[in-house]
Amino acid sequence: MIHKNLALVSGANGHLGNNLVRLLINKGIPVRASVRNIKNTAPFHGLDCEVVQADITDKASFVKALQGVETFYAVGASFKLWAKDPEKEIYDVNMQGTRYTIEAAAEAGVKRIVYISSIAALDYTDLPTKESNGYNPDRRDMYYNSKNDGEKLAFQLAHELGIELVSVMPAAMIGSEAFLPLNVSFGVLKLILNKQIPMDTKITLNWIDVKDVAEGCYLAAQKGRSGERYILANEKCMTITDTMVLAAGLYPKLNLKKPVAVPKFILYAIAGLMEFSAKIMGKAPIITTKDIAMFSGLQQDFDISKARNELGFNPKRPEQAVTEALAYLMANPDLL
């Protein structure tokens, strides 16, 4: 039996998942939170929600977790841009996870799915990028590939199984609440505060407050049209260097220096060395040659009028999101 309004959030101890759980609780919606590691309870301290164990690569665990659920927020995914075996650890996990969780939702009688895709699943050749641009033709990154192919598979399965599905595409999420390990985007601000970005990479990020994305997910569940995709981002991106300059102005005592502009071949050389040591140490490098090749100079500007008009999505400006996120990190030194 479907319980009125019951929502399941997968990946509920992750950055977006946990903020979405908090938002839904505040709106009076009963929440079931699914996590892969049931021992990781810190993100749920003081929250009135049911926490269950489920793994996106284990379909049976989701059939069980989704019993009685009306709306499924499919947040759980492998979100990393580097792995020892990217196809196995990122691509296969996300594709399998998409298939298993949507099939499980259909079997459990779920009414509606909000599928968390990514701006990675957009074609950036026409700016500002909009949903109708189609999918990203750049196939160099396994996480990006998993988001493009995963979203296509999600729509296809939802159509075949007769379940409503809306896709949302967040940009670089930062802000509170957050727990270690920080996600890739928030990790960039941590690198800035720890003076670990000495070079100007010409990489831009489209900063968005995670709480605005959580709100966008909720609005998509309420107002989103089934079979449609909605960008949850800001109109304008910021370079990492501009972000660093903003941080330096806010915290003069940290004595943050503006990153030095260097020729691209030097960036490639540094990234190559970092990758080499990462393979030996088994720890993600700060930057890879692929990051330079794919993202240096790429403008991540979006037309978000569809999300604004159809959902009522209204994010805070990127400078404000960065300012608040930096303040949160400074107030929580354990995250640094």
Encode burial over 102-132: b for 16+ CB neighbours within 10 A, e otherwise: bbbbbebebebbbbbbbbbbbebeeebbbbe
Tokens standing for 23? 């938002």
pLDDT recorded at residue 2: 67
- For residue 236, the one-letter residue type is K
Nearest of 299, 333, 303, 7 to residue 169 by alpha carbon: 303
DSSP structure class, residue 320: H
Encode burial over 174-193: b for 16+ CB neighbours within 10 A, e otherwise: bbbebeeebbbbbbbbbebb
Helices 93-108 & 142-161, crossing angle to 10 degrees? 20
For the chain, which residues make up each domain, given as ranges? Answer: 7-178+206-234+300-315
Are 112 and 72 spatial neighbours (Cβ–Cβ below 8 Å)?
A: yes
Domain 7-178+206-234+300-315 - what CATH class? alpha beta
pLDDT by 10s per residue, the chain, length 336: 767 899 999 999 999 999 999 999 999 999 999 999 999 899 999 999 999 999 999 999 999 999 999 999 999 999 988 898 999 999 999 999 999 999 999 999 999 999 999 999 999 999 999 999 999 999 999 999 999 999 999 999 999 999 999 999 999 999 999 999 999 999 999 999 999 999 999 999 999 999 999 999 999 999 999 999 999 999 999 999 999 999 999 999 999 999 999 999 999 999 999 999 998 998 899 999 999 999 999 999 999 999 999 999 999 999 999 999 999 999 999 999
- E strands, the chain, are 7-9, 31-35, 50-53, 71-74, 112-116, 164-170, 172-174, 199-200, 204-205, 207-209, 229-232, 238-239, 260-261
pLDDT recorded at residue 230: 98
Can you tell me the distance from the alpha carbon of 236 to that of 319, in angstroms, rounded to the nearest whole number?
10
Can you tell me the distance from the alpha carbon of 256 to that of 325, in angstroms, rounded to the nearest whole number?
17
Helices 210-223 & 15-26, crossing angle to 10 degrees? 60
Count of beta carbons in the 10 Å neighbourhood of residue 331: 9
Nearest of 217, 211, 210 to residue 311 by alpha carbon: 217
Radius of gyration, CA atoms only, the chain: 19
H runs (alpha helix) in 27-166: 59-65, 86, 93-108, 142-161
